[in-house]
Amino acid sequence: MLSALITDFRIIFERDPAARNWLEVLFCYPGLQALLSHRFCHWLHILGIPFIPRLISQFSRFVTGIEIHPGATIGKGVFIDHGMGVVIGETAIIGDYSLIYQGVTLGGTGKESGKRHPTLGENVVVGAGAKVLGNIQIGNNVRIGAGSVVLRDVPSDCTVVGIPGRVIYRSGVRVNPLEHGCLPDSEAQVIRTLVDRIESLEQQLQELSSKQLAMASLTDALSVECSTFEAKTTAGQNCRLQDKEIRQFLDGSGM
């Protein structure tokens, strides 16, 4: 346990540029304080001591804002950055050198007994506000984007984003484990594709309108009908291009 505590302390200096000295880290990092308390509670839990481990963990939750059940298994070198609102369930397992940000939940999906919380491999990054639920396996070197909800197993060396979580990168793509805020927005990509498709269809309609107008000399009635259709098409296109929300979205500020 002493070796794990030393590793927990040292990893902070490696991953947080704001860590300046050991005194500041020891007294001002709730993630480290919560881990120190949990390792003691977990040791008591393994010994089969009732009530006391839960009482200590609740006191730690009050002080740090991080709730870790004494039964959870946490490897060495785990860094809980900021940590407010983190919840780690009783049967959760976290591998060595994982990184967990504020608001993360490693929880269950119901009242089933036995192993009901997730297992995280080594070097896993769980972004702020992400929820990993159920007895699922998260492989090594997995990155989970902020705000994602993961409900299924994730292979090693993958990046997961979205609700529910979807794998967007697999092994072979080299990424910086701390740049979890640079993940692509798959929903925005799909919406952008749909907007482009609408533009293409409207252009085709406009071309068809032009062809119909070229034949307007055949009959006066056909000419009137084609002119009306062209006016409606042009008006619809102008409304879409002038719509504030769509313009903000295409500029990247709408998501």
Query: pLDDT in tens for each of the 255 residues of the chain?
Result: 677 778 888 888 888 888 788 888 888 888 889 999 999 999 999 998 889 999 999 999 999 999 999 999 998 889 998 889 999 999 999 999 999 999 999 988 877 778 899 999 999 999 999 999 999 999 999 999 888 999 989 888 888 888 888 887 776 554 455 455 555 556 666 677 788 888 888 888 888 887 777 766 566 555 555 555 555 555 555 555 555 555 555 555 444
E strand or H helix that includes residue 244 = helix 244-250
Report the pLDDT value the prediction gives residue 205, as an integer from 0 to 100. Answer: 86
The model's pTM is 0.67
Identify any residues that bridge with 68 across adjacent strands, giving them in sequence order. Answer: 88
pLDDT recorded at residue 255: 42
Q: 3-class SS at 105?
A: strand
The whole-angstrom separation of Cα 187 and Cα 58 is: 39
Residue-wise DSSP of 29-71: -HHHHHHHHHHHHHHHHHTT--SHHHHHHHHHHHHHS-EE-TT
Cβ(122)–Cβ(157) below 8 Å: no
Whole-number Cα distances in Å, 109 to 104, 113, 118, 146, 231: 15, 11, 10, 20, 54
Instruction: For residue 105, list its beta bridge partners.
Output: 87, 131
Q: What is the largest CA-CA distance in the chain?
A: 95
Q: What pLDDT score was predicted for residue 8?
A: 80
Pairing of strands 159-161, 166-169: antiparallel
Beta strands in the chain (DSSP E): 67-68, 73-74, 79-80, 87-88, 93-94, 99-100, 105-107, 119-120, 125-126, 131-133, 137-138, 143-144, 149-150, 159-161, 166-169
Q: Are 91 and 106 in contact (CB under 8 A)?
A: no
